[in-house]
Amino acid sequence: MAEVRLVDIEKKYGSFLAVSKQSLTIHDGEFLVLLGPSGCGKTTTMRMIAGLEDITSGDIMIKGERINDKPPKDRDIAMVFQNYGLYPHMTVRQNIEYPLKLRGVKRGERKTRVQETADKVELGALLDRRPSELSGGQRQRVALARAIVRTPSIFLMDEPLSNLDAKLRVTMRAELKHLHHELGVTTVYVTHDQMEAMTLASRVAVMREGKIVQLDTPKKIYAEPADLFVAGFIGSPSMNLIDGSVKGGVFRADGVEIPVPLEDRSGVVLGIRPEELDISQGPNAPINGKLYALELTGESTLVTLRNGPTSVCARGHADFEADINSPCHLTPKDGARFHLFDRASGERLG
């Protein structure tokens, strides 16, 4: 159990700024998800916490103790590496067993713990293979098993489920959630997957170009993205972001007229989530255009409408059918949230 505190940490590779003066407190027992586009510094942040990367400036505190100069082995961390980092000359069993061996766990207990953990990640039958004889997903599960085989103070997981098929990913997600509930170990978790972030996180830190742009609960980040970047990044399909301007209390763009509580200005972006739009009849809808694409996802149909440069996507009923290029109308649901951003700065306006 441990609180992790990052104080003004910065990482430069030569003159390239990978992480710029970020502060972040990860509470004891919290499940913190780092979310952000490729190359934004998620792995770098993790590696600094783990002690694999020197910190250019700033402090890292674990349980209130400054551990900048402590070697990784003394930080009591378990980590799933983005690229696995398995021991190729050892069998799966030896791979999973190694951390226990290093911490002096007795042989008998090691054996049962390895077996239990392997079963959890559905690797029980592959214990005597070597990593080179495994598929990518199986390797990733070995990496995961090696991390969860013991109970450290902190878990660091860098996209631990990225290479699994959809079904296994859901199973493993539940497994991790259960594990976290059971052990209450402070966890930092990197993912690209919205669902993973939403379902697992106590809090989500959205990163961009080495900076944390928003740190909040998944609910809050979804409902109230701090800026244009977060708005576009969170949610799947992502939020509709419509370029337009406000005049006389009405937001206008090609085919769009929506009243908003904002004084006159141009260069405004209006955001609305696809799941908060209804497909409506009649020409007097707030959003009008021609049907551009229909995508059946199973439980719903994604309807994309276009009008000039405006493109809006709505999540409609799975049974919805219409001809491409036929007129199409969308109405925000009751209580739908409109997000307003400044085009140039990306800042939230309301």
Partner 1 sequence: MKRSLAYVGERALLIFISVVVLFPIAWMFLTAFKKPRDAYSLSLNFEPTLQNFVTVFSEPWNLGSMVMNSVIVATVTVVIAVPCAALAAYSFSRFRVKGRKFLFFLILSTQFIPAVVIVLPFFLMFRQLDLLDTRIALIIVNLAIVTPFVIWMIKGFIDAIPTDSEEAAMIDGASRLRVIKDIVMPMAAPGILTSSIFCFILTWNEFLFALILSRRDAVTLPVGLVSFRTERGDLWELMSAAGVMITVPIFIMALFIQKHFTRGMTAGAVK
Ligand X SMILES: Nc1ncnc2c1ncn2[C@@H]1O[C@H](COP(=O)(O)OP(=O)(O)OP(=O)(O)O)[C@@H](O)[C@H]1O
Residue with Cβ nearer partner 1 (86 or 269): 86
CB 275 within 8 A of CB 223: no
Task: Kindly give the residue spans of alpha helices, DSSP state H, lying in 184-323.
Answer: 194-200, 218-223, 228-233
Does 18 interact with ligand X (rule: CB under 6 A)? yes
Nearest residue to 40 (alpha-carbon basis) of 205, 197, 169: 205
Instruction: Using CB under 8 A, pick the residue from 58, 99, 232, 237 that binds partner 1.
Output: 99
Residue with Cβ nearer ligand X (29 or 58): 58
Number of amino acids touching partner 1 (CB under 8 A): 31
Number of amino acids touching ligand X (CB under 6 A): 12
**42-50, 67-75, 124-132, 133-141 -> range binding ligand X (CB under 6 A):** 42-50
Does 43 interact with ligand X (rule: CB under 6 A)? yes
Instruction: Using CB under 8 A, pick the residue from 134, 176, 201, 313 that binds partner 1.
Output: 134
Q: In the complex, what is the shortest distance from the CB of residue 85 to partner 1, in angstroms, rounded to a whole number? A: 4
Cα-to-chain-centroid distance, residue 234? 8
Whether the ω angle into residue 72 lies within 30 degrees of 0, i.e. cis, is no
Window 52-71: residues binding partner 1 (CB under 8 A): 52, 71
**Residue 134 backbone class (left: φ over 0; alpha: ψ -120 to 50; beta: rest):** beta
Find residue 328's DSSP bridge partners.
289
Q: What are φ and ψ of residue 114, in 5° steps?
A: -65, -45
- Provide DSSP, 81-107: BTTB---TTS-HHHHHHHHHHHTT--H
Window 101-120: residues binding partner 1 (CB under 8 A): 102-103
Instruction: Using CB under 6 A, pick the residue from 8, 23, 39, 297 that binds ligand X.
Output: 39
Does 140 interact with Mg ion (rule: CB under 5 A)? no
Q: Which does 320 bind (CB under 5 to 8 A by kind): Mg ion, partner 1, ligand X, none?
A: none
What the block records as the tokens of 1 is 């159990």
Contacts of 275 (CB under 8 A, 6+ apart): 315
| Entry field: residues in the chain | 350
Window 238-257: residues binding partner 1 (CB under 8 A): none
Instruction: Using CB under 5 A, pick the residue from 22, 43, 194, 240 that binds Mg ion.
Output: 43
Does 11 interact with partner 1 (rule: CB under 8 A)? no
CB 12 within 8 A of CB 41: no
Whether the ω angle into residue 218 lies within 30 degrees of 0, i.e. cis, is no
Q: In the complex, what is the shortest distance from the CB of residue 101 to partner 1, in angstroms, rounded to a whole number? A: 9
Does 79 interact with ligand X (rule: CB under 6 A)? no
Does 89 interact with partner 1 (rule: CB under 8 A)? yes
Does 85 interact with ligand X (rule: CB under 6 A)? no
Three-state SS string over 136-158 comes to HHHHHHHHHHHHHCCCCCEEEEE
Interacting residue ranges for partner 1, rule: CB under 8 A? 50-52, 71-73, 77-79, 81, 83-89, 98-99, 102-103, 130-134, 136, 139, 143, 146, 163
Interacting residue ranges for ligand X, rule: CB under 6 A? 13, 16, 18, 36, 38-44, 82
Interacting residue ranges for Mg ion, rule: CB under 5 A? 43, 82
